[in-house]
Chains A and B, each alone.
Chain A
Amino acid sequence: MTTAPIITTSALTKRFGRATALDGLDLHVDEGEVHGFLGPNGAGKSTTIRVLLGLIKPSSGTASVFGLDPWADPETIHRDVAYVPGDVSLWPGLTGGEAIDLLASLRGGAEAALRAELIEQFEFDPRKKARTYSKGNRQKVALIAAFARPARLYILDEPSSGLDPVMESVFRQQVQRVRAAGATVLLSSHVLSEVEQLCDRVTIIREGRVVESGSLAELRHLSRTSFRVSGMADAAAVRALPGVHDLVAVGDSVEFEADADAIPAVLAAVAGGGAHAVTAAPASLESLFLRHYSETR
């Protein structure tokens, strides 16, 4: 995999009046990767994306896409970008097909065969007026317009939030197709299975700052392991260890979580404590996200 940065931001800050939406955000997306962009609602994902598209101007810090400044040169960047917003709003009087053609044409025109195939796969009726479409159907318009013409970078802001499971899988196939063709994808999402299946690397942000970034394997390594130990005479030995969290006694068992670097000490304490049954589970992605999403501030 090549490592030319497609997106870089450094110390990116955006303030709206007194509110700080982005607070020194550093994001790196390499060429050819599908990059998961995660964070609770209001963390600053959409604001970051708007800065990357040159729709809003950073208060301080820098952003670059394809090595260009999006605020100074948005049109050049947009030639190679396909964008799907989180909440798609369409022109009520245009049909879905007309909206697809308009958006794709402004980027240079849809590939007719690809457009037809996407409309079929997404089971989309392009003849209806946009005002009659549901959220999922409006999203399909933006998705079809985005995928109907090859781009170098796809910026997708919670693109599957209105889709049913079948359509979600169509969406995943499309992401995999463009990745195979060498494109880069920045995918903001809350759907963990989607992230797990599609993303090479993820960045988790909270309150406008990056709290975690790396490959999924790396993130798992950083996270805790869950233990359940039965028959241990004295749980206090484990409780006292540094790096052990959330210990609770359930009958004759104890349950706790341990940081990666605390595991040798935990295993020693368990072995010495007379345990007769041990289960250890790697942190699920879900627990990782929950920890970052809900951490008290």
Chain B
Amino acid sequence: MNGLGVILLSQLKRDRWVLTFWLGGIGLLGISVATAITTQFADDAERTAIIQIAAANPAFLFLRGLPDGVSLGAVAFFQGFAFTAVLAGLMSTFLVVRHTRADEEAGRAELLGATPIARSTMLAATLVLGTLANVALVGLLSLAYIGGGLDGGGSVVAAFAVGAVGLVFVGVAALVAQLMPSGRSANGVASALVIGAYLLRGIGDALGTPSDDLLSATPSPISWLSPIGWGQATRPYTEPTLLPLLLSLAVFIVLAGASVAVRSRRDLGSSLVPERSGRASARFGGRSVLGLAWRLQRATVLGWVAGVVVLGAIAGGLGPVVAEAVAENDTLAALIGSLVPGSTADTAEVFIAALLGIGGVLAAAAGVQAMLRLRAEEVEGRAELLLATPVSRARWLGATALVATASVLIVTVALGVATGGVLARSSGDGADVLRYAGAALAHAPAALVFVAIAALAFALVPRVTIALGWGLLVIGLFLGQFGELLQLPGWLQAVSPFFHSSAVPVVEFDVVAAIILLAMTVVGLAVALIALRRRDLTS
């Protein structure tokens, strides 16, 4: 047991900043959601209105979760739980893979494996660390919710609901790490399972039955297939119960036990899914900088495309359902009509336009990811190898910017085509495909601005490239998506490029705004090209 303690301590020490960042970030999200609800929606009538709209709208149910009454806590839980739970899941999977498969791959595990500890001790230490991280998360979130002005008992239950999701994914990632051959693939599979849990719960909730007063809803059984659904079933601010979390605990114990059993039986470095061997020589496309940039981004783009196709199918499939639900309810129709500038907009289109807007953010993330890879290439020494050949820095950055731009376009078009394609099946109008592809593309210019921002950060302040690239995207997302909800001043909302995207088809495409955004992108990239030529390559 002594070995376990020593290893646990070393893992904790290695993780102190990463974990501080994750826990602090999730805690901050908790307190801001709670505060937003208690300050912006202090009025009962307002909360009732927002919950009624949501309950009648499968898309809201899909994205947010199930409404469960109109108390402050219940509304905050409805707004924040699913997303917070996803973050807890990702924190847990990255933590576990970092200390298991990734360490094994990097050879650090071999060093420790040669000391007199059991084969599974490192894994056991990681399981303990993951549990501790989620216990800390429960404590922090309880404080955050209570600090934000929510009911005490309910807040503790809500925090446990989040922590339980995190704990399940500690177990999931521990087992996945035993089966996959590399840290990268283990992270990919484990985080896909987190997203899968969110989507499963989303489908189950969207197919749920709203109560007659539209203040709550019961999920379909599908939600019970997802650990996030179990957390939601604690109903913390209405009828609090920790019983569903016993299911989470049981699943964690089974998965953790299975991972330990696999680890004690397998060789170091071996895996169920083997590493495949590849090509002995490069194809034509693999012999240029552009080919390399695409090769490095390809899997990422495919992942984003898969994500937005699901999103698009939901948008296209649920849009008409939403419109129908609203049409049956006059007060709701009036409410939604008052939310939309210009009364001509049809409800389905409002809903779809909102989802396409989210697609713009996802496209930006895909593009930013391509640009930020340059920094990893530089830090890890591959840029040095590349730039010692006759490849100029301009060509290197240019090729990557091209791939980033292509990523943005591919992701937006994929979303539009998926949305329009599903809509066309119900409407019978094939032109929907083109129309919504165009509508989704309207968000590309704003997304491209973030590609240019990432390039500028890389060229001008390389040491903080990653933080700036993602940080500014999150701020842009926050201002664009929550600026209205938090009633931030207009000029502040206008800072975000997303603010200037046109929500086609609800509003007309703003050509001038799009041209300005594109011009900003071009200027940003040009400045980055020049600046990169003037700085030292760092490592």
Contact = CB atoms under 8 A, between A and B. Distances in A.
Contact of A55 (B278, B280, B382, B387): B387
A89 B382 contact: yes
B1 interface: no
State the 5 A-B residue pairs at the shortest beta-carbon distance, nearest first: A101-B282, A105-B287, A89-B381, A106-B389, A83-B388
Contact of A93 (B288, B295, B536, B537): B295
A95 B289 CA distance: 16
A92 interface: yes
Interface in A105-135: 105-109, 126-129, 131-132
Contacts of A75: 390-392
Interface string A56-95: 1100000000000000001110110101010111111111
B13 interface: no
Given A94-B286, A94-B295, A105-B282, A85 B277 contact: no
| Contact-size category for A | 35 or more
Contacts of B299: 93
Interface string B275-314: 1111111100011110110011001000000000000000
Contacts of A131: 105, 182, 184
A265 interface: no
Nearest to B289: A106
Contacts of B388: 53, 55, 78, 81, 83, 85, 155
Contacts of B512: none
Which has the most chain A C-beta neighbours within 10 Å: B105, B282, B388, B536? B388
B536 A106 contact: no
A208 to B, nearest CB: 16
A98 interface: yes
A186 to B, nearest CB: 13
Contacts of A90: 382, 385
Contacts of B49: none
11 contacts: A75-B391, A78-B388, A78-B389, A98-B282, A101-B281, A107-B389, A126-B280, A127-B279, A128-B275, A128-B278, A142-B385
A101 B390 CA distance: 15
Contacts of B295: 91, 93-94
Contacts, number: 115
Interface extent on B, as a size class? 20 to 34
A93 B289 CA distance: 15
Nearest to B281: A97
Contacts of A93: 295-296, 299
B289 A98 contact: no
Given A55-B537, A56-B537, A98 B286 contact: yes
Interface string A22-55: 0000000000000000000000000000100101
Nearest to B392: A75
Given A102-B292, A129-B278, A142-B385, A56 B286 contact: no
Contacts of A103: 385-386, 389
B380 interface: yes
Contact of B184 (A74, A79, A92): A92
Contacts of A50: 384, 537
Contacts of A74: 387, 392
Given A89-B380, A89-B385, A105-B287, A79 B280 contact: no
A103 B389 CA distance: 7
A95 B182 contact: no
Nearest to B534: A57
